[in-house]
A = this chain, B = another copy of it.
Amino acid sequence: MKITMAQALNQALAQEMARDERYVLLGEDVGPDGGVFRVTDGLIQKFGPERVIDTPLAESGLIGVSIGMAAFGLRPIAEIQFLGFIYPAFNQILSHVARLRNRTRGRYPVPMVIRTPYGAGVRALEHHSESTEALFCQLPGLTVVVPSTPYDAKGLLIASLRSEDPVIFLEPSRLYRGEKQDVPEEPYEVPLRAARTVREGTDVTVIGWGAMVPVMEKAADEAAGRGVSAEILDLRTLSPMDREAVLASVRKTGRAVVVHEAPKTCGLGAEISALISENALLSLRAPVARVTAPDITIPLPKAEDDYYVNPARVLAGILKTMEF
């Protein structure tokens, strides 16, 4: 059946919670409201208020409480309402979620999934369009996952829920109700730490994730019209990254364009660019290009389109790389 990403995520949650009662969902407005994007819609009816828990408005408390639950027998799934509101919990995430396994030499790992909508393109208020994934990619111990299709969303979320490591699961709000896709009814895993080749190509590798994937696809279509064959790589797991997939593709094509919604400086694109230079410099026929937002705060809706990375800019990045 063709369903949206929001529905696919909802299915993943419902199925895993039905399978294993250690899963407990908690967050602001995840209960009767079903989450502000309705990802948890209907779950409180299915699993009751003991397993779908509306919490007070306190992100550090929410993540901190989830840590205690994870250390002592449960598998919390914490929803942060928007990525822009995760920062009050940053200390809990950096100091504890990421590090407890190490600090306790494996005695108290805290398997948990922190889900949150992220990214721009939905004309939201300030702080609702953040794309600060790179903050989490630099924290050893965390796994950072971003789906770009309904199919991947379900499979990656199930894999994240089953992971023994804590996962930051970023859901591109722009794709929640984007293109529908046939998604198997039964549960399945899309493996973590494995990128997906969205489209094969020979001239240039275009690397991105989340809401940038459809943008990259459009750009690749246009590039094809100009005789450029672009290979598209969807990272899916941003950290730990599927380095081999990135390097194999770039070694093949000799060119790379990294695309992200986040501002340029110290975005994940920097890491990818550095990785490629370190490991495939001699294969490179052009510098690794970064097509990203500028280093400013994302503007309010009226200027959002000016700011947002679009197919034209990705195409320009591809062409510039081809012409180098």
Contacts and interface: CB of A to CB of B under 8 A. Distances in A.
Interface of A: 60, 84, 87-88, 90-91, 94-95, 98-99, 102-103, 126-127, 132, 134-135, 137-138, 140-141, 239, 241, 262-263, 265-271, 273-274, 276-279, 281, 284, 286-290, 295-297
Nearest to A91: B87
Given A87-B95, A88-B91, A138-B263, 15 more contacts: A60-B88, A98-B297, A132-B138, A135-B138, A141-B297, A265-B271, A266-B268, A266-B271, A270-B270, A270-B273, A270-B274, A274-B274, A274-B277, A277-B288, A279-B287
A95 B287 contact: no
Contacts of A281: 284, 286-287
B289 A265 contact: no
A277 B287 contact: yes
Contacts of A137: 265-266
Contacts of A265: 137-138, 140, 239, 241, 271
A278 B87 CA distance: 31
A263 B140 contact: yes
A278 B273 contact: yes
A33 to B, nearest CB: 23
B60 A266 contact: no
Contacts of A277: 273-274, 276-277, 287-288
Contacts of A98: 297
A84 to B, nearest CB: 8
17 contacts: A87-B94, A87-B95, A98-B297, A135-B138, A138-B263, A140-B263, A140-B296, A239-B266, A266-B268, A266-B271, A269-B274, A270-B271, A270-B273, A273-B274, A273-B277, A274-B288, A278-B290
